[in-house]
């Protein structure tokens, strides 16, 4: 599958859809390496709750941007862009194709298009919104975001208070919705490669059953103990995510274990729905349905990639 221009293959889809297994099979077939675009798998201390590729899986295929940060590290999407491109260029020194996979839509978009330059935020606006968060709770900020920027509201992880705050900071500082600043087009010299996007889907019943099964497996693997060990750092940005935010209140006695598990499953289903909505808006994605037909879908993906890569080589 040689070609003149390097190609990045993006494998996307909601949580629990089956990206990890398919990414590894495709990477082995293509003879390449994997870059993670899952913002939760960056962190060394978060293993069970992020469904991170196992040590055995990582031994099969080289993974980049997995287990390279601590939850105490400050890290943002701009730094991710730099690290991901550096990893990508390193792969392209020896490979004609690279594979990236993950369900974090913003990180996928940033890898493809770059990150927009945002306006400076006056300190008083930042302090006012932080005070509102502390006094009125996150829901008050979510409600405000829905009113002033419905487009971003429908895309953002509503459990990530820092992203909610950031969007409202930009709105109050400029009077314009945060989404209006997120239109940057990549400079060709920054991304001298071509992109193929593959999306994975399943019918809702099958996906939701996979989510419930995965959560049960995480509990059996020791998710509660993992979260308990991270409790002293519960305010860290990395931990403002599904699977961790539901356990912290349990540890504080807010509800019992059964309720914590119910909330993890419910919120994971909601998260998967938002991820699917985000990716469905991208007309460049070629979708493959895995519902009860994974082997057939894999063959279809390989045929599609063979055709597209051969066409680009001509």
Render pLDDT for 37-70 as a digit per residue (tens, 0 to 9): 999 999 999 999 999 999 999 999 999 999 999 9
Residue extents of the structural domains in the chain: 7-115+184-313, 123-181
**Measured CA distances, 169 to 50, 139, 142, 175 (Å):** 29, 16, 13, 10
pLDDT tier at 314, thresholds 50, 70, 90: low
Q: Are 251 and 234 in contact (CB under 8 A)?
A: no
User: Does the pLDDT at position 188 exceed 80?
Assistant: no
pLDDT number for residue 127: 87
Can you list the alpha helix ranges (DSSP code H) found in 93-246? 105-113, 123-136, 138-148, 150-153, 161-174, 204-221, 223-230
Q: What is the pLDDT of the chain when averaged over all its residues?
A: 92
7-115+184-313, what's its fold?
A: Rossmann fold (3.40.50)
Q: Are 90 and 8 in contact (CB under 8 A)?
A: no
Model pTM?
0.81
Largest CA distance in the chain: 63
As a CATH number, domain 123-181 is 1.10.20.140
Q: Which residues are registered as beta bridge partners of 201?
A: 289
pLDDT tier at 122, thresholds 50, 70, 90: confident
Q: What is the mean pLDDT of residues 102-111?
A: 91
Q: What is the mean pLDDT of residues 88-103?
A: 96
**Tokens 């550096």 label which residue?**
86
């Amino acid at each position: 599958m040689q070609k003149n221009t390097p190609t990045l293959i993006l494998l996307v889809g909601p949580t629990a859809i089956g990206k990890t297994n398919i990414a590894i099979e495709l990477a082995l077939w293509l003879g390449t390496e994997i870059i993670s675009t899952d913002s939760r798998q960056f962190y060394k201390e978060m293993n069970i709750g992020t469904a991170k590729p196992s040590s055995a899986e990582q031994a099969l295929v080289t993974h980049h941007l997995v287990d390279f940060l601590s939850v105490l590290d400050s890290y943002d999407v701009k730094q991710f862009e730099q690290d991901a491109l550096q990893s990508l260029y390193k792969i392209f020194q020896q490979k004609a194709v690279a594979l990236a996979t993950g369900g974090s839509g913003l990180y996928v978009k940033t890898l493809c298009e770059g990150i927009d330059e945002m306006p400076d935020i006056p300190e008083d606006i930042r302090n006012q919104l932080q005070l509102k968060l502390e006094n009125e709770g996150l829901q008050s900020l979510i409600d405000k975001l829905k009113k002033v920027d419905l487009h971003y509201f429908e895309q953002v992880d509503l459990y990530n208070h820092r992203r909610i705050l950031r969007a409202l900071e930009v709105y109050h500082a400029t009077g314009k919705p945060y989404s209006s600043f997120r239109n940057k087009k990549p400079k060709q010299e920054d991304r001298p490669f071509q992109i193929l996007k593959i999306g994975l889907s399943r019918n809702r019943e099958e996906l939701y059953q996979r989510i419930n099964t995965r959560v049960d497996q995480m509990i059996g693997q020791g998710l509660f103990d993992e979260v308990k060990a991270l409790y002293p750092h519960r305010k860290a940005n990395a931990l403002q995510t599904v699977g961790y935010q539901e356990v912290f209140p349990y540890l504080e006695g807010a509800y019992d274990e059964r309720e914590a598990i119910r909330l993890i499953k419910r919120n994971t289903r909601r998260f998967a729905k938002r991820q699917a909505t985000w990716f469905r808006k991208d007309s460049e994605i070629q979708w493959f349905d895995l519902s009860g037909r994974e082997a057939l879908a894999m063959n279809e993906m390989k045929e599609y990639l063979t055709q597209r890569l051969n066409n680009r080589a001509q």
